[in-house]
Amino acid sequence: MQKFLTALVLIPLGLIFIVFAVANRHLVSVSFDPLDVSDPMGTVQMPLFVLIIGVAILGVIAGGIATWFRQRHWRRAARRHQAEAIEAKTQLANLRASIVAPTPSEPKRMLLLEQGSASGRRDKASAAL
């Protein structure tokens, strides 16, 4: 399904780029010398569609970099929260392990508790109504 949706978007987009390139294939002069308009230095002749698509690609890259820098706060917070969650899981596992594995003084207490509850059951069992 995802391949179908990708094809549904990319095929028309590719056709639009091809039609745009055919319609704008004449050469234009590109110069970055604003001081000498009559004979600019560093002039490049290129098809108009190459210029427009190249500027669009550069704009997408610049926008992506700006967004990446702007979202650094959220990425930092996500890393901090992930570290806190890992630490909490570790503490929980340690607490669970300490409950399951009794300390050396624990068996005596457990034995006394079991004896007390066993004698309580005998009393209740032998009682008559």
Total-model pTM: 0.54
Specify the pLDDT at position 110.
55
* 70 close to 62: Cβ distance less than 8 angstroms: no
Average pLDDT rounded to a whole number, residues 123-128: 55
pLDDT one-digit tens code per residue, 59-118: 999 999 999 999 999 999 999 999 999 999 999 999 988 887 655 655 555 555 556 555
Tokens of 9: 């978007």
List of residues 6+ apart from 96 with CB closer than 8 A:
none
Q: Which residues on neighbouring strands pair with residue 30, listed in sequence order?
A: 44
CB 50 within 8 A of CB 68: no
